[in-house]
Amino acid sequence: MGIEERQSVYKVVRGDVETHTVQKRTWTCGGNNRGYDLDGDVTWNSQIGKIIFTSREPAERVAQEYLAEYEHILAENIRATGVIAYRYEYRGREIVQSYSILEDGTFYFKYGIMYEHIGKEVEIKKFEEERQHCIERNDTYAVLENYKPQYKNMYKCGHSSWVYAEARYEYIND
């Protein structure tokens, strides 16, 4: 079973469903296992019908099964009591970095090249160091007073200072 170029497919990553478009590039590996380029991701024949689907409904069912079994926080249930955010330009792109103070006393972080995650207060020091570095080298730095973050679904993880991380983070406790 294969998928066709320019076809939309739905990839399940933990409890999230991502939409991808199959690109022209394909390859074989290990006999009959064909690889497919999915606009910035890859998949294999062996994943079709398990985590890759050609319609959204079966992907949603698999994602719901994951959510029923593993500890997570849906983005819609994340509640912040405060947000610290700033923006700057880097190579012509606007970058926004932030952390949110959550009702339970943890913090939702979005900064640097790290995955978005919920962590402990100890990480604020790293965030502030990154912000200071940005202020010193970037004249486009600006504080964002009324920034409203777009949160992602979070999944329990085993990182030393993170409690939850977004679906693409590799060290989830499965």
pTM over 0.85: yes
CA distances from 17 to 27, 38, 43, 59 (A): 24, 14, 14, 7
DSSP string, 96-108: EEEEEEETTS-EE
Q: Report pLDDT for 159.
A: 81
- pLDDT (average), residues 148-167: 93
> Kindly report the CA angle at 71 between 158 and 170, in degrees rounded to 5?
40
Residue type, 132: Q
Q: Are 34 and 120 in contact (CB under 8 A)?
A: no
Give the pLDDT confidence of 18-40 residue by residue, as tens digits. 999 999 998 888 778 889 999 98
Q: What are the CA-CA distances from residue 136 to residues 87, 125, 127, 151 (Å)?
A: 14, 17, 14, 28
Residue-wise pLDDT for 40-54, tens only, equals: 899 998 999 999 999
Amino acid letter, 93: R
The percentage of the chain sitting over the pLDDT mark of 90, rounded to a whole number, equals 70
pLDDT at position 90? 85
Q: What is the per-residue pLDDT for 67? A: 98
Phi first, then psi, for residue 73 (nearest 5°) are: -135, 120
Contact between residue 158 and residue 5 where contact means Cβ atoms under 8 Å apart? no
Q: If you average pLDDT over every residue of the chain, what do you get?
A: 92
User: Does the structure show a pLDDT above 80 at 2?
Assistant: no
Domain limits, the chain: 8-69, 72-165
Q: What is the mean pLDDT of residues 120-144?
A: 89
| pLDDT for 173 beyond 70 | no
Amino acid, res. 158: G
Return the ∠ at Cα 130 (arms to 126 and 136), rounded to 5°.
145
Strands 41-44 and 117-119 turn out to be unpaired
